[in-house]
Chains A and B, each alone.
Chain A
Amino acid sequence: MIAFLINRLFQAAIVMFVISLLSFSIQDNLGDPLRELIGQSVSEADRMELREELGLNDSFLTQYFRFAGKAIQGDLGTSYFFKEPALEVILKKLPATLELVFGATVLIIVISIPVGVYSAINPSSLFSKVAMGISIIGISVPVFLTAIISIYIFSVELGWLPSFGRGVTEHVFGTWETGFFNVDGLLHLLLPCLSLASIMLPLFIRLIRAEMMEVLQSEYIKFAWAKGLSPRRIWFMHALKNTMLPVITVGGVQIGTMVAYTILTETVFQWPGMGFLFLEAVNRVDTPLIVAYLIVVGAIFVITNTIVDLIYGLVNPTVKLVGEK
């Protein structure tokens, strides 16, 4: 187990190194920090001097190590637009995005497990067929279109739900602002979370159904039936456990993917989160902010994947922990 842990942590470190290298080369090639700092009116000689002073004439590697050294201490430069440390700007927006992902995850879990299990147990019932039909439509509708349609139906036509922003938020734990503890905030969360969940829901329903159907055909389930166990016990105790194993792996990876899809939902709903901020930063060529976003999101991906790998290693007794041969 410890060797497995070290192996995975080592891999995570390498991936983070590559991400930081890429981020740095973006920073190095995109825009001119000098122009952002002093404008056009400074003479060429002063410019050269300032370049030397700022270390912009050093070799790529020297500059990279300076960048990495600062990055480890949490200093990713100052946003050109906000005139604040880029990392702080990003982290201030992180709760809004995480709430979106969290809300969508809850919806996915609450809906996909019952539907998937039911349609695996009764594959020929009307409900299962309808669920499968809807899920193939759901897979084919891009997330931004779901968002637009839901805005058109629920905000423009019916006027039931708000179409943009976070609504009222409250402070908890110091700086964390949340919309979970009041009605207005929850109403604002509903449509974005639904749209975000809509892209993953069909995938999970189909996955859970397929895995469960395969498990229900295995020997040990037949043996359990022969033993005369109650159907509930067989379905929920014995079958569901083995169904969830692959679902956990896929699920962990999809949480990372959802962070990517928040860029789309946040754009449609003008949700003040990281993704929305990132697109604004791209339009303004705010390089430090772009780099900070890359590093933060890269870290989220690497951390979730590492945790999923570790959990999978713990839960599944057959996984080979060290060395693959």
Chain B
Amino acid sequence: MRDDTITTTAKNPSLLRRFKDSHLWHSLKKDKVAFASFLVFILFVSVAILAPVLAPFDPYDPSSIDIMDSELPPVWQEDSEAKFLLGTDAQGRDLLSTILYGMRTSLLIGICAVLLQCFLGVVVGLSAGYFGGRIDSFLMRIADIQLSFSTLMVAIVVLAVFQASFGAELYSKLAVFMLILVIGFAEWPQYARTVRASVLAEKHKEYVDAARVMGFTNSRIMLGHILPNTLSPLLVISTVQIANAIISEASLSFLGLGMPVSQPSLGSLISSGFEYIFSGSWWITAIPGLVLVVLVMVINLLGDWLRDVLNPKLYKD
């Protein structure tokens, strides 16, 4: 026991080293589909982060846009221009740059919304599971009711009302925050239920009793002892939730309740191209659509793989 601690502190393995030795990394390398999804996801995230460096044009800068360049097709088609690799949209913006920035917005909203969901859900789920009794049944009843209303419905209604009362001008400035808040608040019950179920399973184990006997406070036991043991189900649902949040954001932007056309996310890009699909300019809708689908799909595939790896229930067959 003592030797163990000495050797580990002597080696002092870095986080990266520990990750490389982990069960997770090994099974990721073995699973081809998951590994490919992982690479694509990393690629998308880094491209999105580096968008200001990589994008050939700045779609937020009106002076770089020329309306005469509008609706140019991608380079492999006729009538295209070489400087617009994926063509241009109806306003003459370079589609590649707009997609890079759009993906940045979509990922930002998706991830922040899920962090908010996770925070709310963990707080509610931990207290419901740990304290039990009245608090538990009250909180879970609220979660049930909230779950019975679809997220999209709640989000549409809330955003519509805000848009109608703020006016479109002010609303477009606040759109990012509103989307994060609304998607974050609408989905917390998913986390609350998952955390509560794990807490119920953990709370009668000996280590919790031991911590209590040692006189630790409730919050220390909940956060320091029980919470770390609920992390794997949290990780599994987080992937699915990010995918869903990105889809929700895209749907809301498509309805005109999300990101404005001047700072497009993938959803508002698809929406702005939709009118032009009948006149044959398919690329304004199709290319951002494809990017969105691939982004969501790799996250879903990673989620499936995580569920298989982290859920011991599925080992049986």
Residues of A within 8 A of B (CB): 11, 15, 26, 29-31, 136-137, 139-145, 148-149, 151-152, 156, 217, 253, 256-257, 259-261, 263-264, 267-268, 278-279, 282, 285, 287, 290, 294, 297, 301, 305, 324
Contact = CB atoms under 8 A, between A and B. Distances in A.
B255 A142 contact: no
Contacts of A217: 317
Contacts of A253: 147-148
10 contacts: A139-B300, A142-B267, A142-B292, A149-B289, A152-B277, A253-B147, A263-B156, A278-B160, A290-B164, A301-B153
Given A263-B255, A297-B153, A30 B161 contact: yes
A256 B137 contact: no
Interface in B272-300: 274, 277-278, 282, 285-286, 289, 292-293, 296-297, 300
Interface stretch (B6-14, B48-56, B119-127, B246-254): B246-254
B91 to A, nearest CB: 19
B317 A257 contact: no
Nearest to B282: A152
B217 interface: no
A181 B251 CA distance: 32
Given A141-B296, A256-B153, A264-B152, 8 more contacts: A136-B301, A143-B251, A152-B277, A279-B255, A285-B164, A290-B161, A301-B153, A324-B137
Given A137-B297, A263-B255, A282-B160, A256 B165 contact: no
Contacts of B161: 26, 30, 290
B145 interface: yes
A264 B304 CA distance: 27
A309 B200 CA distance: 24
Nearest to A157: B282
Given A144-B254, A151-B277, A294 B270 contact: no
A257 B154 CA distance: 10
Given A136-B297, A156-B278, A253-B148, A142 B247 contact: yes
B244 to A, nearest CB: 9
Nearest to A19: B149
Contact of A29 (B165, B286, B300, B304): B165
B270 A148 contact: yes
Interface string B210-237: 0000000000000000000000000000
Contacts of B156: 260, 263
B117 interface: no
B285 A148 contact: yes
DSSP class of B's interface residues: helix, strand, loop or mixed? helix
Nearest to A324: B137
DSSP class of A's interface residues: helix, strand, loop or mixed? helix
Contacts of A279: 160, 255-256
Contacts of A142: 247, 250-251, 254, 267, 292, 296
Contacts of A143: 251
* Count class of interface residues, chain B: 35 or more
B251 A301 contact: no
Contacts of A256: 148-150, 153
Nearest to A304: B148
A290 B292 CA distance: 31
A145 B277 contact: no
B165 A30 contact: yes
A156 to B, nearest CB: 6
A260 B153 contact: yes
Interface in B39-76: none
Contacts of A287: 164
Contact of B293 (A141, A301, A305): A141
B100 interface: no
A260 B150 contact: yes
B153 A137 contact: no
A15 B301 CA distance: 37
A23 to B, nearest CB: 10
Interface in B135-177: 137, 141, 145, 147-150, 152-153, 156-157, 160-161, 163-165
B183 interface: no
A279 B289 CA distance: 23
A105 to B, nearest CB: 15
Contact of A136 (B247, B282, B304): B304
Given A256-B150, A259-B153, A267-B255, A140 B296 contact: yes
A77 to B, nearest CB: 16
B243 interface: yes
Given A30-B161, A137-B297, A142-B292, A148 B150 contact: no
Contacts of B274: 148, 268
Contacts of B160: 278-279, 282, 290
Nearest to A123: B317
Contacts of B256: 279
A145 B270 contact: yes
B293 A137 contact: yes
Nearest to B156: A263
A257 B251 CA distance: 14
Contacts of A260: 150, 152-153, 156
A294 B153 CA distance: 10
Contacts of A26: 161
B275 to A, nearest CB: 11
A189 B247 CA distance: 25
Contacts of B157: 294
